[in-house]
Amino acid sequence: MSFKKRHYILFVTRDTDGSLRKVPVPLYYAYVFVAVAAIGLFSIAGLAGSYSRMLIKTAHFNELRRDHDSLRKDYASLEKQDREKDIQAASLGSLASEVSALYGLTASKLALPMARLGSHKGKKEEVSVNAPISSGTTAGFTDQSYFKSLDAFYALRTSAMSGVNTHSSFEATGLSGNFTGITGLDASFDGPSIWPVIGPITSSFGQREDPVLGNGEGEFHTGVDIGAPNGTPIIATADGVVRSAEMANGYGREVIIDHGHGVETLFGHMSGFAVMSGQSVTRGQVIGYVGHSGRTTGSHLHYEVRIRNIPVNPHKYLRMTLAQLASEGPKGM
């Protein structure tokens, strides 16, 4: 009997009448069934293996992505710290330049002590205030040394603007240098000195948590935030010319006033303007109104003082008390 003619007999019965029916099944059908089943099992096993390898690769990829995200955050944090140190060093340089101008130093030799990173012998580098400040000069520049130098320069500036102009002023601050050509206070300079609006300082100059995101990430705040109701008049803190009065990213409606000598003030998050670009303003004149335009969480004024386009701490420029400001009042339009 040939292979094709060999077959199995299946008996099929009916429940209704109990009759049997013979169904011939060729033998090669059985071989085909076994082959298909074997192929199916191997396919399932292969798919299961591939799926397992994919799960392992996915887990490894996710781990690498987490490491990559962590490294990116660390890099961004270090980059932000480096920028902040540059801002701090540049603000000291600008403030030193202002002090040298107030004291009439034609060739200032004021030195900012900033220890180089890795300087194990205690040597310090003297950085001229007229020299360009790069990120390389801020290595090892600590917050403590920054605020100490800042306080010293503010003491010099306050002495100069108060008319006290002696060599002892420099010695009292602990700043070293050779001072020649001291001619006295430049009376033509009358910088910002009053509060732009009456209210509490809700956020100071320096490092802080991002108030909008609130995710714990820090940012460097380049001014002070003064809380006040929406629509409160904002006054100019010194005479000057309005450089711009327009919408800006972040600060919303903002006004920038140029006071000369490289000094500018910025007023942000305003609800409306009372001045226009190119207009001359006087100290105490209303320039706009408190609002919450731009990137903010509530109604307040963002106030900045910039020296040669470098933000400096406005706190010590707010020399007039709130009571004095309230008694003086705004001059109007």
DSSP string, 69-124: HHHHHHHHHHHHHHHHHHHHHHHHHHHHHHHHHHTT-SS---EEEEPPTT-TT---
3-class secondary-structure state, position 264: strand
The tokens of 183 are what?
A: 């001619």
Q: How many CA atoms lie within 13 A of 185 on its CB side?
A: 16
pLDDT value at residue 312: 87
Reported residue count of the chain is 333
Q: Quote the CA–CA distance of 121 and 104 in Å, as a whole number.
A: 35
Secondary structure element (H or E) that encloses residue 42, with its range:
helix 27-102
- Which one, of 315, 301, 306, lies nearest residue 205 by Cα? 315
Q: In Å, how far are 3, 8, 15, 30, 114 from 23, measured between CA atoms?
A: 18, 8, 17, 14, 100
43-75 burial string, b = 16+ CB within 10 Å, else e?
eeeeeeeeeeeeeeeeeeeeeeeeeeeeeeeee
- Which one, of 147, 152, 161, 160, lies nearest residue 111 by Cα? 152
pLDDT value at residue 142: 56
Q: Could you tell me the domains of the chain?
A: 84-173 (no CATH), 201-328 (2.70.70.10)
- Encode the chain (333 residues) as per-residue pLDDT tens digits: 455 567 777 777 776 776 777 778 787 777 888 889 999 898 998 898 888 899 999 988 989 988 888 888 888 888 877 777 766 666 666 666 556 555 555 434 444 433 333 333 344 333 343 443 333 444 445 556 666 666 666 666 565 555 444 444 444 444 444 333 333 333 344 678 888 998 888 888 887 776 665 555 667 888 899 999 999 999 999 999 999 999 988 899 999 999 998 899 999 999 999 999 999 999 999 999 999 998 888 899 999 999 888 888 888 787 654 444 455 445 544
